[in-house]
Amino acid sequence: WGSALAIILSDKFDEIFLIDRDKEIIKKLGKQHPVLSRPFTNNITLNHDISSVAKSEGILIATPSYAFSDILENIKPHLNGHHHIAWATKGFDPHNECFLHETFNKILPTYKACIISGPTFATEIVEKKPAAIVVASKDKKTRDFWASTIQTNTLRAYTNTDIIGVQVGGSVKNILAIAAGVASGLGFGANTQAALITRGLAEMTRLGVSLGAEKLTFQGLSGIGDLVLTCSDDLSRNRRFGKELANNNSTDKALSNIGATVEGFNVLRLVIEIAKKHQIEMPICEQVLAVV
């Protein structure tokens, strides 16, 4: 996802740094992304030097949720107080057992939290197929900066102030996509998928509202929009993971076969714990936990 954003934004900006702390990953990326099958233009600099963030006005984090706090700690010494920081990481911090914005506020208290989320697959973004995304922040200046930064001729950015709702939607939809994948792998049909999506949306909304989110958020791009996308197409790693489980693969084998981050699995136990703490019923998500 980070690479996809770098590729499409390279048409818009003179210089982009695509940074990964792992030298081997940078080597593998080379001149062309192996999955996205798109070349990196000359104005995209690939490196593993985290200090490069100091040169950028905007810093967009697209790391898996389990690495989010480490990344913030790594970039902290290189910030000058004037950077705009956002993340496309989904939902919850499984290590600190809290929202990502809570981790962000603890590590970088002088910066404004901003979340970028919505129904987007990286492969379609780099193919410049029309899509829409949500930029959520309580700070108007931050929202406007990232909306104007991210928006292109084929990617429309909408703004939102409900950072809790956007994070709940971006996280829970991945768990529900695992359920959708299991159902598909077992040979169940469109009726089942529709029921899972509809009742899954109810679970997502109940949890979000109990945590302080606005109900309307779940009727938008970061709620029902992202849920439908992730549950309905095999470009979703979470859905494919569910199908692997349905094929009688162990959890470890299923994760290995996917070969990439499965965020729904990473946050599953934490989401169930939060739901129980707030006495929220999430039967579909609970059954996913029983399966894995």
**Complete DSSP assignment for 236-290:** -HHHHHHHHHHTT--HHHHHHHH-S--HHHHHHHHHHHHHHHTT---HHHHHHHH
Token pair recorded at residue 187: 């040979």
Do 75 and 90 share a domain, yes or no? yes
Q: What CATH number corresponds to the domain at position 251?
A: 1.10.1040.10
Indicate if 138 belongs to the active site: no
Clarify whether residues 130 and 31 are in a common domain: yes
Is residue 180 within 8 A of residue 154, CB to CB? The reply is no
Q: What is the CATH number of the domain that holds 41?
A: 3.40.50.720
Q: Are 90 and 65 in contact (CB under 8 A)?
A: yes
Domain that holds residue 112: 2-161
Q: What is the pLDDT of residues 129-161, one digit of tens each?
A: 999 999 999 999 999 999 999 999 999 999 999
- The answer to whether residues 154 and 84 belong to one domain is yes
With a CB cutoff of 8 Å and minimum separation 6, the contacts of 219 are none
Q: What is the pLDDT of residue 192?
A: 97
Domain count, the chain: 2
Q: Cα–Cα distance between 121 and 15 in angstroms, integer?
A: 24
Cα distance between residue 181 and residue 190, in whole Å = 12
pTM: 0.92
Domain boundary residue among 144, 161, 178?
161
Q: Which of 111, 139, 161 is the last residue of a domain?
A: 161
My answer on whether 209 and 258 are in the same domain is yes
Note whether 18 and 114 are same-domain residues: yes
Domain boundary among 98, 130, 161: 161
177-226, pLDDT tens digit by residue? 999 999 999 999 999 999 999 999 999 999 999 999 999 999 999 999 99
Q: Which of 90, 112, 173, 243 is catalytic?
A: 173
Domain check: are 77 and 210 in the same one? no
- Mark whether 169 and 138 lie in a shared domain: no
**Same-domain status, 229 and 106:** no
- Does 157 lie in the same domain as 16? yes
Please tell me whether residues 231 and 246 are part of one structural domain. Answer: yes
**Residues 234, 175 share a domain:** yes
Residue 32 has pLDDT above 70, yes or no: no
Q: Report the alpha-carbon distance of residue 256 to residue 260 in Å, rounded.
A: 8
pLDDT range class, residue 229, cuts 50, 70, 90: very high
| Burial of residue 210, with CB atoms counted within 10 A of its CB: 0-12 exposed, 13-18 middle, 19 or more buried | middle
Q: Are 163 and 139 in contact (CB under 8 A)?
A: no
Residue 159, classed as helix, strand or coil, is strand
Residues 260, 132 share a domain: no
Return the pLDDT at 78: 95
Q: Over pLDDT 70: what percentage of the chain?
A: 98
Residues 6+ positions from 173 with CB-CB distance below 8 Å: 200, 204, 223, 226, 227, 230, 231
Reduced 3-state DSSP string for 67-136: HHHHHHHHHHHHCCCCCEEEECCCCEECCCCEEHHHHHHHHCCCCCCCEEECCCCHHHHHCCCCEEEEEE
Query: pLDDT digits over 83-116, tens only?
Result: 999 999 987 888 888 999 999 999 999 999 999 9
User: Locate tokens 């489980």: which residue?
Assistant: 245
